[in-house]
């Protein structure tokens, strides 16, 4: 047994987190910054954080993840990190020549109280920022929120810095993407273009962390939201923000700064969340929903009606981020599956409220918890008390999966032991189809492997 010390008996804990279902803010800021074209993320702190974040993102994408660090020493942690950041800015622009440096803080620089804004101002005054180059920033203290908070902060930081309003509205919608894969961002753009909606996607990690093998390395791959688009986002007629946790702050910022009205919608995972996304986008962009979208939706529904018997009533445990879990739970319910256990380390009362709305009638026995101490250890203990048929979450679930012999669908962050997430979306109707196909594969493979020979089926 890999998790041999996890007891069935649940003791209340108030201080000890075991096997967390979240990580820290800066990695989210780093990921969001990768979705900006020509941008080098920069971690203002000791070099360990940056090394950890780069390594984790690299393992997840199997792609280059470049970022700088202020490389604090004990001295900087006593006297503050201003000198380190000033040197970093100068060195990075000289050596690596990005268009933008996106600075985020770390626990260390936050605890010291470094004022990023003021230091960047100083760098500008000192002539360390070449003309036409930019340094954006956000604060990401990891003792608040989670990796999702960091992502949200960086997206907001980018908009705060770049978005401008000329006073003339353009026939265009901003799409702010929550924390999803490059494949999902690509799919969101495809759906918008199928609908004929003129849009800007921010951030956009497609063509950045899924770049092709060409025999040459490009530090700033062709993807990512451009400066021009970020500036222009202030003139868009509306913003559709996908995923409340990761995008709401940015949408509000854009409204306050440039008077762009916004709507929040869930990340379009599953039928109903995609329905809402498509409907809202069609209204905001003032376009009709084309037949091709109806067809994609219809194909998803067709598969579900055909294969419903294998899904119905199956108990599921999930862990991950609220923005993904909420629409995923809704989708599982639409498949007549039972999401019985849910944890997320990302705090926010709204999550419990949304889950309550979704689950109270259909799965009254469901247990869920988010925020501090909502960890995978607790989830595993719930499973030990009453098992589930399927696990959905990041790679760390493979230990539970193996110990308890439960099929396991990898979704979320990080996925460091399989590929696919960067290339095949889970958003939209086509993404829904992929999720259903994967779930069916897992459940039916288990049936094939474990059923008595007498009832082994050829046709299923």
Name which of 106 and 236 has its Cβ closer to other proteins: 106
- Taking alpha carbons only, the member of 398, 265, 253, 237 closest to residue 326 is 265
Closest by CA position to 228, among listed 36, 59, 397:
36
How near is the Cβ of 68 to ligand SF4 at its closest, in Å? Answer: 14
**Residue (55 or 385) nearer to other proteins, CB:** 55
Residue 48 contacts ligand SF4 per CB under 6 A: yes
Residue numbers 107-126 binding ligand SF4 by CB under 6 A: 107-108
Residue 393 in contact with other proteins, rule: CB under 8 A:
no
**Could you tell me the smallest distance in angstroms from the CB atom of residue 115 to ligand SF4?**
18
Between CA 448 and CA 78 the distance in angstroms is: 62
CB of 105 to other proteins, least distance (A): 12
- Of 450, 355, 443, 341, which Cα lies nearest the Cα of 385? 341
Q: Are 34 and 205 in contact (CB under 8 A)?
A: yes
Judged by CB under 8 A, the chain residues 141 through 170 that form the site for other proteins are 141-144, 146
Greatest Cα-to-Cα distance within the chain, rounded to the nearest angstrom: 80
Strand order in the sheet with 170-177: 199-202, 170-177, 236-242, 262-265
Q: What is the DSSP letter of 382?
A: H
Binding string, residues 1-30; x marks residues near other proteins by CB under 8 A = -xxxx-x---x-xxxxxxxx-xxxxxx---
Q: By CB under 8 A, what part of segment 76-95 binds other proteins?
A: 76-77, 84-85, 87-92, 94-95
Q: How many residues bind other proteins (CB under 8 A)?
A: 86
| Token pair of 81 as six digits | 């990190």
User: What residues pair up with 391 in beta bridges, in sequence order?
Assistant: 317, 408
Q: Write the CB contacts of 61 (distance below 8 Å, at least 6 apart in sequence).
A: 182, 209, 210, 422
362 makes contact with other proteins (CB under 8 A): no
H or E element in which residue 12 lies:
none
Q: Is 106 in the site for ligand SF4 (CB under 6 A)?
A: yes
Does residue 424 bind other proteins (CB under 8 A)? no
Closest CB 403 distance from other proteins, rounded Å: 9
Quick one: what does residue 94 bind among ligand SF4, other proteins, none, with the CB cut-off 5 to 8 Å set by partner type?
A: other proteins
What residues from 126 to 145 belong to the interface with ligand SF4 (CB under 6 A)? 142
Among 3, 17, 38, 52, contact with ligand SF4 (rule: CB under 6 A): 52
Q: Do the beta carbons of residue 272 and residue 326 sit within 8 Å?
A: no
Binding segment toward other proteins, per CB under 8 A, in 38-46, 240-248, 249-257, 350-358: 38-46
Pattern 61-100, ligand SF4, x by CB under 6 A? ----------------------------------------
Q: And the tokens for 440?
A: 């069916």
Please report whether residue 111 would count as binding other proteins according to CB under 8 A.
Answer: yes
Q: In angstroms, rounded to a whole number, what is the distance separating the alpha carbons of residues 153 and 159?
A: 10
Report in angstroms how near the CB of residue 298 gets to other proteins at its nearest: 24
Which listed option, other proteins, ligand SF4, none, makes contact with residue 67 (CB within 5 to 8 Å by class)?
other proteins
Q: Which of residues 210-269 bind other proteins (CB under 8 A)?
A: 211, 213-218
Q: What is the CA radius of gyration of the chain?
A: 23
Residue 55 site contact among ligand SF4, other proteins, none (CB < 5 to 8 Å, cut-off depends on kind): other proteins
Q: Tell me the HSE value of 60 on the side-chain side, using a 13 A CA sphere.
A: 24
Cα 275-280-281 angle, rounded to 5 deg: 100
Could you write out the DSSP letters of every residue in 419-432? --TTTS--SHHHHH
Q: Which does 16 bind (CB under 5 to 8 A by kind): other proteins, ligand SF4, none?
A: other proteins
The only residue of 49, 191, 251, 332 in contact with ligand SF4, by rule CB under 6 A:
49
- Where does residue 30 rank: exposed (0-12), middle (13-18), buried (19+ CB within 10 A)? buried
Give how far the C-alpha of residue 166 lies from the chain's centroid of Cα atoms, to the nearest Å. 31
Member of 34, 49, 123, 378 binding other proteins (CB under 8 A): 49
What is the C-alpha end-to-end distance of the chain, expressed in Å? 33
Shortest distance, position 53 Cβ to ligand SF4, whole Å: 7
Instruction: Report the nearest approach of other proteins to the CB of residue 27 (Å).
Output: 7
Q: Is 346 in the site for ligand SF4 (CB under 6 A)?
A: no
Least distance from other proteins to the Cβ atom of residue 372, Å: 6
Minimum distance from residue 279 beta carbon to ligand SF4 (Å) = 38
Residues 250-269 that bind ligand SF4 (CB under 6 A): none
Please state, in angstroms and rounded to a whole number, the distance separating the CA atoms of residues 230 and 174: 9
Whole-number Cα distances in Å, 295 to 292, 300, 438, 440: 5, 9, 21, 21
Distant-in-sequence, close-in-space partners of 342: CB < 8 Å, separation ≥ 6: 317, 318, 319, 325, 329, 355, 366, 367, 368, 369, 370
Q: Using CA atoms, how far apart are residues 145 and 392, in angstroms rounded to an integer?
A: 22
Question: Interface with ligand SF4 by CB under 6 A: which residues?
Answer: 24, 26, 45-46, 48-49, 52, 106-108, 142
């Amino acid at each position: 047994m890999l998790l041999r010390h996890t007891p069935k008996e649940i003791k209340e804990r108030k201080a000890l987190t075991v096997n967390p279902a979240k990580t820290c803010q800066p990695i989210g800021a780093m990921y969001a910054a990768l979705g900006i074209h020509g941008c080098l993320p920069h971690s203002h702190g000791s070099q360990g954080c940056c090394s950890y974040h780069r390594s984790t993102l690299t393992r997840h994408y199997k792609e280059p993840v470049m970022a700088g660090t202020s490389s604090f020493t004990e001295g900087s942690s006593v006297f503050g990190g201003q000198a380190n950041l000033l040197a970093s800015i100068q060195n990075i622009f000289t050596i690596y020549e990005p268009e933008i440096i996106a600075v985020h803080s770390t626990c260390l620089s936050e605890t010291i109280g470094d004022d990023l804004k003021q230091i960047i101002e100083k760098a500008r005054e000192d002539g360390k920022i070449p003309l036409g180059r930019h340094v954006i920033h956000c604060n990401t203290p990891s003792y608040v929120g989670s990796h999702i908070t960091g992502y949200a902060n960086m997206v907001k930081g980018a908009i705060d810095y770049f978005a401008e309003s000329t006073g003339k509205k353009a026939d265009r919608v901003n799409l702010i993407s929550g924390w999803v894969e490059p494949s999902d961002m690509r799919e969101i753009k495809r759906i918008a273009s199928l609908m004929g909606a003129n849009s800007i996607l921010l951030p956009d990690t497609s063509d950045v962390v899924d770049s092709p093998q060409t025999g040459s390395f490009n530090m700033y791959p062709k993807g990512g939201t451009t400066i021009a688009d970020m500036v222009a986002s202030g003139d868009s007629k509306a913003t559709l923000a996908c995923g409340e946790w990761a995008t709401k702050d940015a949408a509000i910022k854009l409204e306050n700064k440039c008077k762009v009205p916004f709507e929040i919608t869930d990340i379009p995972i599953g039928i109903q969340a995609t329905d809402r996304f498509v409907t809202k986008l069609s209204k905001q962009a003032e376009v009709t929903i084309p037949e091709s979208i109806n067809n994609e939706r219809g194909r998803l529904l067709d598969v579900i009606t055909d294969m419903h018997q294998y899904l119905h009533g199956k108990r599921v445990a999930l862990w991950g981020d609220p923005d993904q879990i909420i629409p995923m739970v809704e989708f599982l319910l639409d498949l007549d599956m039972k999401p019985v256990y849910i944890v997320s380390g990302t705090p926010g009362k709204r999550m419990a409220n949304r889950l309550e709305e979704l689950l109270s009638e259909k799965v009254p026995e469901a247990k869920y918890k988010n925020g501090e101490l909502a960890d995978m250890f607790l989830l595993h203990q719930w499973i030990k008390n009453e098992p589930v048929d399927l696990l959905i979450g990041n790679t760390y679930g493979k230990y539970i999966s193996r110990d308890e012999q439960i099929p396991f669908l990898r979704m979320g962050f990080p996925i460091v032991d399989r590929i696919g997430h960067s290339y095949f979306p889970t958003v939209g109707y086509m993404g829904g189809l992929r999720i259903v196909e994967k779930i069916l594969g897992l459940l039916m493979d288990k049936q094939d492997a474990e059923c008595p020979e007498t009832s082994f089926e050829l046709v299923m």
